[in-house]
Amino acid sequence: MNAGHQTTRRLVSSVGQSVCRACRHSLSRNSYATAAAAVQTDDSAFQHVPPVASTEPQASYAVKGGVLLSRPPQITRDLHPFEAAYFLYQRRLNERLALPFTRYFYIKKRSPADLEWKRKLRQRLTPARDIGRYKGYGDEAWNDEVLVGANESDFQWQVQRLVKDAEQNGLEDKSEEGGPVRAGKKVEREPVERPLSRVTEADTKGDLKSLNRLLQRTLYLLVKDKEGHWVFPQDRLDQENLHTAAERILKQSGGINMNTWVVGNVPVGQHQHDFAPESLKASPNPHQLGYKTFFMKARIMAGQPILTENKLGLTDFKWLAKEEVQKAVRKDYWQSVKNMLTER
């Protein structure tokens, strides 16, 4: 019997009848556990052997920071043909529902607005020129659906009709009383500002370096590196976090002419490039298996890249949409970055 068991028996016998059976059992169990733990601690102290440090270099990857610099869409997207047809149907339906009410429900009788209504209705035979001519009374009043391929469903046609309507005042063909216009009477009208075209000169010329193209899409900055590959601006980390590295890379690649903003402190994706086994054998650092690039998201507000004094060895740049990026970069690179790019 060891010392721990003898101590426990003496303690139980000395307490005697003053301790209940349950307490004696708990006391005996705790004493045994305490003695066993003490013995185990003493044995483990002699059995611990410190690990031997390995002098062999570990295989690793270099870490790079990349920047997804983008220009967001500048205008709304073009309507789908179904959407354009639906909106035209809603405007025609609104006019049909308004016909049962007299116009004096909306316009005061013999007011300037009432005279303007009469002039234009006599001239174009419909209150709203952009929806085409619609006669709400007669045997064909129900037949107001637009045929497939009709001009009325085209957005540009509607804009031109609205501008033309705004440039007229109803006096071009008839006088205010309905008779012919007196000779020598000049109709003056304030000039109407026409909307700008949704297709720019850069779109027509195919200028991939212009930010004034594909106004409905998001454009991304792609640069050509020293190896001749099209990639996003990137460089090795130099004892810095990813946010600071992204700001430095933008300045070193495009200069200070760009007004940019790095969004957040967390990367939106990463790309892993493994070196070929042949290049590893000839490399001065064969334990570096490749590099991993972590991309930060950024926006450009103004300016353009200037590569004349860049410090990353870049030779060219482009502003491309998502499907254009796919055609420019390598396949493995595209598989890593495609989910970081927006469809619009």
The reported pLDDT for the residue numbered 130 is 66
The domains of the chain are located at: 3-45, 61-75+199-340, 81-167
What Å distances lie between residue 34 and 2, 8, 37, 278, CA to CA? 13, 11, 5, 62
Segment among 102-116, 213-227, 228-242 with least mean pLDDT: 102-116
Tell whether the model's pLDDT for residue 183 goes beyond 60.
no
Kindly state the average pLDDT of the residues 120-128: 68
What Å distances lie between residue 291 and 171, 235, 274, CA to CA? 74, 11, 7
Confidence of residue 85 (pLDDT cuts 50, 70, 90): confident
Please give the residue that has the higher pLDDT: either 160 or 210: 210
pTM above 0.85, yes or no: no
Kindly state the average pLDDT of the residues 38-42: 50
Phi/psi at 253 (5° precision): -95, -45
- Residues written for the chain: 344
pLDDT in tens, 125-142: 666 666 766 666 677 667
The reported pLDDT for the residue numbered 134 is 65
Confidence of residue 124 (pLDDT cuts 50, 70, 90): low
The reported pLDDT for the residue numbered 94 is 79
Which two structure tokens, joined as six digits, stand for 60? 């690793």
Tell whether the model's pLDDT for residue 17 goes beyond 60.
no
The reported pLDDT for the residue numbered 48 is 62
What is the Rg, in whole angstroms, of the alpha carbon atoms belonging to the chain?
Answer: 40
Tell whether the model's pLDDT for residue 28 goes beyond 70.
no
Confidence of residue 189 (pLDDT cuts 50, 70, 90): low
Query: Distance between CA atoms of 293 and 231, rounded to whole angstroms?
Result: 11
Q: What percent of the chain has pLDDT over 70?
A: 68
Packing angle of the helix pair 3-15, 21-47 (nearest 10 deg) = 160
Query: Which of the 8 DSSP states describes residue 165?
Result: H
Q: Nearest CA to 233 among 218, 219, 245, 241? A: 245
Q: Nearest CA to 326 among 309, 336, 317, 338? A: 338
The highest-confidence range among 16-25, 93-102, 127-136, 164-173, by mean pLDDT, is 93-102
Confidence of residue 56 (pLDDT cuts 50, 70, 90): low
In terms of phi and psi (left: phi > 0; alpha: psi -120 to 50; beta: otherwise), the region of 290 is left
Cβ contacts of 144 within 8 Å, gap of 6 or more:
92, 96, 134
Tell whether the model's pLDDT for residue 344 goes beyond 80.
yes
Please give the residue that has the higher pLDDT: either 137 or 84: 84
- DSSP symbols for 69-114: EEE--SSPPPPPHHHHHHHHHHHHHHHHHHTTS-GGGTS-TTSHHH
CB neighbours of residue 189 within 10 Å: 11
pLDDT in tens, 259-277: 999 998 999 999 998 888 7
Tell whether the model's pLDDT for residue 178 goes beyond 80.
no
Q: Which fold has domain 61-75+199-340?
A: Nucleoside Triphosphate Pyrophosphohydrolase (3.90.79)
Which two structure tokens, joined as six digits, stand for 85? 């047809």
Please give the residue that has the higher pLDDT: either 343 or 180: 343
Kindly state the average pLDDT of the residues 13-41: 51
Query: Distance between CA atoms of 243 and 296, rounded to whole angstroms?
Result: 7
Please give the residue that has the higher pLDDT: either 145 or 264: 264
CB neighbours of residue 182 within 10 Å: 7
The reported pLDDT for the residue numbered 200 is 92
Kindly state the average pLDDT of the residues 186-215: 85
Kindly state the average pLDDT of the residues 287-301: 90
Listed in order, strand segments (DSSP E) in the chain are: 60-71, 219-224, 230-231, 234-236, 259-263, 269-274, 288-302, 316-320
Tell whether the model's pLDDT for residue 180 goes beyond 50.
no
CB neighbours of residue 71 within 10 Å: 19
